[in-house]
A and B are shown apart, each in its own frame.
Chain A
């Protein structure tokens, strides 16, 4: 999907074209939902985030400026902020203190890593392992890792979405992936035993 198409759809929806709004929603809902789902670990939160993202787009309350970047990346940025905001409100995890990029191992103290509704939703053991491992990551690593690994965003795009310097993206990605691999080790060991 080209950004110019997105802009045309956005223009049409602002003129009252419901089909354009529906098309735009259907083109981006899956990516945004996946991102929010893996980030929050809760399908209901992910659904709320997607709804709120598009409500904001509908009311133009986020002030998207096409000159500043692609609509898709803008939507991911809004979704990220909403997920983080929701997490802060619900204190699903303990926020890391001090510098975001200090020498921790990227693991945050997780309050709830047990399989929840997502486990039922994702009928795939490997994905469930991934979800649990991601839940063990600090949110600021989780953003970058999900965007890079799942959505295959470039460093530049991740920097735009997360409002970070590219160097910070690079370092967070490196540490986040290492931390994720560490968090996945127990599951992989089990998988190897089974195999």
Chain B
């Protein structure tokens, strides 16, 4: 087709001018220079680059993990403080096992666990004294004696108490 062999009607705006056909053919393969695509791909790579692990966490995530870590630390510290310095003897284990039911501790657990050669003692104790030890008992007759079993350390220190069934 001769690009310049056109009819005048199409040039008046009622049809496609031949120059447009030429433009379509010429520009069909037109493309920006390669450096444009390369620049875009570099920008894409920068935008979607894998982030190091410490940048993948936002502030909330870090705060959560710090809080969890702190809580675990506190729990570990408390747990360690509850552990006895040394394993209790076989006798202590037996006494503690025997005393496991019904006894109310009147010393901290670590002191009870650390007690050497504890023994069971029978005693009659006034209600008022039991109340002072924190035993939940009615004190309407303060001087009335109540029969109790005491677990006593070798030093004489009472460790736990169990009220005997009358």
Contact = CB atoms under 8 A, between A and B. Distances in A.
Given A29-B31, A51-B36, A188-B4, A58 B43 contact: yes
B2 interface: yes
Interface string A11-43: 001001010011001100110011001100000
B19 A127 contact: yes
Interface residues of A, number: 45
Contacts of A174: 13
B4 A33 contact: no
B41 A22 contact: yes
A192 B24 CA distance: 22
Contact of A18 (B12, B22, B31, B48): B48
Given A16-B48, A25-B37, A38 B23 contact: yes
Interface stretch (A67-75, A86-94, A157-165, A175-183): A175-183
Contact of A130 (B12, B20, B48): B20
A178 B10 CA distance: 10
A26 B40 CA distance: 12
Range, interface on chain B: 35 or more
B27 interface: yes
A191 B48 CA distance: 53
B57 interface: no
Contacts of A30: 27-31
B116 interface: no
Interface string B1-39: 011111000011100111110111111111111001101
Given A58-B44, A129-B19, A191-B4, A51 B39 contact: yes
B31 A22 contact: no
A121 B30 CA distance: 9
A59 interface: yes
Contact of A13 (B5, B30, B39, B44): B44
Nearest to B28: A30
14 contacts: A21-B44, A25-B37, A25-B40, A26-B37, A34-B23, A50-B36, A121-B30, A123-B26, A126-B3, A126-B19, A127-B19, A149-B16, A150-B27, A181-B11
Given A58-B47, A149-B23, A178-B13, 13 more contacts: A21-B44, A25-B37, A30-B28, A34-B23, A37-B27, A50-B36, A51-B40, A58-B43, A123-B26, A124-B26, A126-B3, A188-B11, A192-B4
Interface of A: 13, 16, 18, 21-22, 25-26, 29-30, 33-34, 37-38, 46-47, 50-51, 54-55, 58-59, 121-127, 129-130, 133, 149-150, 174, 177-178, 180-181, 184-185, 188, 191-192, 194-195
Interface of B: 2-6, 11-13, 16-20, 22-33, 36-37, 39-41, 43-45, 47-48
